[in-house]
Amino acid sequence: MQYQNVCLEAITCLVPEETLSSREIEARLAPLYKRLRLPEGRLEMMTGIAERRLWPEGTLPGEQSALVADKALRQAGIDRRHVGALLHGSVCRDYLEPATACSVHRRLGLSPDCLVFDVSNACLGVLNGVVQVANMIELGQIRAGLVVGTESSRTLLDGTIRRLNEDPSLTRADVKLAMASLTIGSGSAAILLVHRQWSRTGNRLLGGATRADTDFCGLCHSDRDPTVGGRPEPLMWTDSEALMREGIRAAQQLFPRFLENVGWDRGEVHKTFCHQVGQTHQKLLFEALQLDPAIDYPTLTFLGNTGSVALPITAALGIENGHLHRDDHLALLGIGSGINVLMLAVDWQTSLVEERSGLPSGRFSIS
């Protein structure tokens, strides 16, 4: 996977104001903790997540996606009539149909000639959308395209807490399978890609590599689609240890091919933005890839795992807070259940962002 004509022009995010701390979740889980004699503080200790964010009750993903996409267009100064594709890549959607991208397209007032659809691939949906838009730009089909997503965790968190408290048959092993659901946070992100002739940043997307290890697709799954007999309330069960182990193994196997595709050696990876899962995952991933964790920019402590938008939100905040510098070689390292891995390389030059976000970096030690 290589590109000659694609630039990453803008990455923007929206972070909800409402916070839910790990201590507050444990307080709500008091009946479960008492019954199973679980020690308080284990959620933050095991994950490194102090808090996650929530959208207001009743918020539709498409509403926030339109706002964050508009922010990207305004930041880049791109005429929205020239946007040739709009892809919505988050797990959360407004409805099963039509595509959430349709409501975002309408709110943004994009051209009727714009290609509009949703992309679904767990935590890799937004990055997969970036590849599709980049391919269209490289082929000369469009000159600019938007990839956007919004994840909303409130329903999953509330449902998981309720289930854990109300089902007396659940054991400590069952609770372990539900732990990942308690790390989920909310947020929105948008990525605008343009042809290099239209770019004001010169942030070239060089290429990347992908790997699918679908033998492990059963390690993380939600309830079935309600249209085929699933419950309307989402629940998710995850073998977190196995998923982490196999995901890191897949990333380790892909990394040499990624470096070869983009013409870098390991020491030429100057900065990274990664999917945000947990502090142990972060530590083991960088050990497996033989990278210095100091080149990364984690946001896990105050955002939690925001699914498909975790990497782009982290990138947007990192850019706003000065993590990148001219001529940095930037690696975007995405891992999603399935298991799928997608790595993309950017030759970074400059940002159009003028104001700093003011949000903390969320840095934690992974030494």
Question: Residue holding tokens 């709110």?
Answer: 107
58: which residues sit within 8 A by CB, 6+ positions away?
Answer: none
User: Computed over its alpha carbons, how large is the radius of gyration of the chain?
Assistant: 20
268 is catalytic: no
Query: Any residues with CB less than 8 A from the CB of 285 and at least 6 apart, and which?
Result: 248, 251, 274, 333, 335
First-to-last alpha carbon distance for the chain, in angstroms, is: 33
Q: What is the DSSP letter of 342?
A: E
CA distance 128 to 88: 10
Residues 6+ apart with CB under 8 A from 10: 72, 73, 75, 76, 190, 191, 192, 352
Q: What are phi and psi of 256, to 5 degrees?
A: -60, -40
13 carries an active-site annotation: no
184-220 residues labelled b (16+ CB within 10 A) or e (exposed): bbbbbbbbbbbbbebbebebbbbbbbbbebeebeebb
What torsion, rounded to 10 degrees, do the Cα atoms 254, 242, 308, 6 define? 0
Query: In 81-225, where do the E strands start and end?
Result: 85-88, 115-118, 144-151, 187-195, 204-212, 220-222
Catalytic residue of the set 97, 166, 260, 287: 97
Which of the residues 92, 114, 123, 274 is marked catalytic?
123
- 130: which DSSP letter? H
Active site residues: 97, 123
